[in-house]
């Protein structure tokens, strides 16, 4: 704040008086008297001007006297990004639920304001977490904040304590076999209620599972469920398919949360993976389900050996079926020992199951509104990963089975058929 310079006091008094005395001596002439008055006027004006400038700066810094003073909802003249509009330090914004966790890196977390409203308006256009991050402007470093995670956890809990907020666990988890309708399940959850928040294959949870124990996983999920004002929103997580092998860590962190595992007829899943990839199908390349062929894990290797297959030389079809088998085996075992919290859900009739059973009953959210039910029907009629509005879904299950090669059918029968039959029995 600018302040007027204080002149060093002297025995002669104020500058104007000193000037008068220097000019006069004894009796004052009319000319010297006029000059003295002029000097006094100049000094007065200069002092007033400096005080005015200093005061104006102070007023501006406090907001007093500005045209928006007292108007908390004044419209800014410049359009700012969502993150820029937020108030407070990054830690304060995290604590109050204004910033969302989007990435982990060591002991640091990257935060940004996610646009869940846009995601809910048409989840098939933004089906995955990376799509939500992009549409929210969170790929722009200017909209993100990197914060120490321990500090973020503490800030959130302190905020909850001060405001009498009790953190609530997520409403449900969605595990899956992959290429089986799990995105349809996630999209159905996103539109079922205006209050629901859905993370579809988000980045932070897998990083938390790899980087720490169940308490760390719980802390990360706790941050991700917090909405505006710090209150826990009804939140659902659809995990990456490989996370089905990490059920122990995730369910260990939240043993009270109900979950489902979505699965599908083996040949149909296999064909979805192998379409356009090498190994008996059109095109070339390695399908996602066989990406670990060069360094197969213990579980896949055991399954392959059990089927008299060499892990190092298995075909894409055999490796893919063995990989999917490990996911189904883990889900089947966990569901049988879940006390009813875990439920296996076949792709056939998935939309109806979500409307009448999974969402209202298994995830225990109660009856859905007519609007919610209608929106689930709408989202079930478009391609789940369209990434553009209105791409109509065309049922392709029969087509997949007709186009399957003998190798695909053999691999499916060898490694997946038994689990599929057992899951059907467990579901029904």
Positions in the chain short of pLDDT 50:
1-33, 37, 50-85, 278-283
pLDDT at 206: 97
pLDDT at 147: 97
Measured CA to CA, the distance from residue 133 to residue 171 in angstroms comes to 22
Nearest to 250 by CA among 284, 205, 289, 288: 205
Q: How many helices (H) and strands (E) does the chain have?
A: 19, 8
Q: Token match 């043993």: residue?
A: 255
- Distances 188 to 111, 124, 303 between C-alpha atoms, Å: 26, 10, 34
Q: Token match 């009739």: residue?
A: 349
Residue 140 forms part of a structural domain: no
Measured CA to CA, the distance from residue 410 to residue 386 in angstroms comes to 31
Residue 251 forms part of a structural domain: yes
Residue 405 forms part of a structural domain: yes
Residue 215 forms part of a structural domain: no
pLDDT at 36: 54
In terms of residue numbers, what domain contains 355? 168-196+234-427
Residue 29, SS3 per DSSP:
coil
pLDDT at 47: 54
The 3-state secondary structure of 97-142 reads CCCEEEEEECCEEEEECCCHHHHHHCCCCCCCHHHHHHHCCCCCHH
Q: What length does the chain have?
A: 428
The 3-state secondary structure of 235-264 reads EEEECCHHHHHHHHHHHHHCCCCCEEEEEC
- Per the CB < 8 A criterion, the answer to whether 294 and 286 are in contact is no
Measured CA to CA, the distance from residue 13 to residue 42 in angstroms comes to 16
Structure-token pair, residue 203: 């980045």
The 3-state secondary structure of 360-412 reads HHHCCCCCCCHHHHHHHHHHCCECCCCCCCCCECCCCHHHHHHHCCHHHHHHH
Helix (H) or strand (E) holding 325: helix 316-336
Nearest to 171 by CA among 193, 149, 202: 193
* DSSP structure string for 264-322: --HHHHHHHHHTTSSSSSSS-S--GGGTTTTS--HHHHHHHHHTT--TTT--HHHHHHH
Residue 192 forms part of a structural domain: yes
Residue 246 forms part of a structural domain: yes
What are 388-419's pLDDT values in tens digits?
988 899 999 999 999 999 999 999 999 999 99
Residue 133's CB: how many other CB atoms inside 10 A?
22
CATH classification of the domain holding 286: 3.40.50
Residue 65, SS3 per DSSP:
coil
- Distances 147 to 37, 104, 219, 256, 326 between C-alpha atoms, Å: 63, 10, 15, 29, 37
Structure-token pair, residue 277: 């990839």
Measured CA to CA, the distance from residue 152 to residue 245 in angstroms comes to 28
What are 148-199's pLDDT values in tens digits?
999 999 999 999 999 999 999 999 999 999 999 999 999 999 999 999 999 9
Residue 34 forms part of a structural domain: no
- Per the CB < 8 A criterion, the answer to whether 193 and 372 are in contact is yes
Quote the pTM value. Answer: 0.79
Q: Order of strands, edge to edge, in the sheet holding 145-148? A: 100-105, 108-112, 145-148
Q: What is the DSSP letter of 229?
A: G
Backbone angles phi, psi at 74, to 5 degrees: -60, 135
Domain count, the chain: 1
Residue 401 forms part of a structural domain: yes
pLDDT at 10: 42
Measured CA to CA, the distance from residue 376 to residue 192 in angstroms comes to 6
Evaluated on CA atoms 308, 310, 313, 317, the torsion sign reads: positive
Measured CA to CA, the distance from residue 344 to residue 346 in angstroms comes to 7
Q: Order of strands, edge to edge, in the sheet holding 342-346? A: 197-200, 235-238, 172-176, 259-263, 342-346
- Distances 169 to 102, 231, 255 between C-alpha atoms, Å: 19, 11, 10
pLDDT at 298: 93
Residue 56, SS3 per DSSP:
helix
């Amino acid at each position: 704040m600018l302040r007027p310079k204080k002149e060093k006091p002297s025995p002669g008094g104020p500058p104007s008086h000193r000037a008068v005395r220097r000019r006069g001596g004894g009796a004052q002439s009319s000319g010297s008297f006029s000059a003295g008055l002029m000097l006094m006027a100049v000094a007065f004006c200069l002092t007033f001007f400096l005080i005015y400038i200093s005061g104006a700066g102070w007023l501006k810094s406090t907001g007093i006297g500005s045209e928006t003073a007292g108007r908390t909802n004044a419209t800014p003249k410049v359009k700012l990004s969502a993150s820029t509009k937020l108030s407070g330090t990054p830690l304060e914004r995290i604590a109050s639920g204004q910033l969302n966790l989007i990435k982990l890196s060591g002991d640091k977390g990257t935060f940004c304001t996610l646009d869940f409203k846009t995601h809910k308006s048409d989840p098939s256009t933004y089906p995955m977490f990376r799509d939500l991050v992009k549409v929210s402007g969170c790929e722009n470093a200017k909209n993100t904040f990197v914060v120490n995670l321990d500090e973020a956890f503490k800030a959130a809990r302190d905020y909850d304590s001060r405001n009498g907020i009790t953190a609530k666990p997520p409403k449900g988890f969605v595990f899956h076999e992959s290429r089986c309708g799990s995105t349809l399940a996630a999209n159905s959850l996103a539109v079922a209620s205006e209050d629901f928040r859905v993370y579809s294959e988000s980045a932070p949870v897998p990083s938390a599972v790899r980087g720490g124990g169940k308490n760390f996983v719980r802390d990360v999920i706790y941050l991700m469920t917090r909405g505006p004002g710090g209150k826990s929103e009804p939140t659902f997580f659809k995990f990456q398919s490989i996370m089905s092998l990490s059920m122990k860590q995730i369910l260990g962190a939240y043993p009270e949360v109900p979950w489902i595992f979505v699965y599908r007829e083996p040949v149909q899943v296999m064909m979805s993976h192998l379409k356009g990839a090498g190994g008996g199908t059109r095109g070339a390349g390695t399908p996602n389900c066989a990406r670990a062929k060069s360094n197969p894990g213990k579980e896949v290797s055991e399954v392959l050996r059990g089927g008299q297959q060499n892990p190092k030389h298995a075909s894409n079809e055999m490796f893919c079926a063995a990989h999917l088998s490990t996911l189904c085996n883990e889900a089947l075992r966990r569901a049988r020992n879940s006390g009813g919290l875990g439920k296996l859900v076949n792709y056939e009739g998935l939309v109806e199951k979500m409307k009448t059973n999974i969402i209202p009953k298994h995830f225990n959210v109660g009856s859905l509104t007519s609007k919610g039910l209608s929106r689930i029907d709408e989202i079930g009629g478009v391609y789940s990963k369209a990434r553009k509005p209105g791409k109509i879904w065309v049922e392709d299950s029969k087509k997949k089975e007709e186009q399957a090669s003998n190798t695909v059918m053999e691999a499916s029968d060898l490694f997946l058929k038994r689990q599929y039959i057992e899951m059907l029995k467990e579901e029904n």
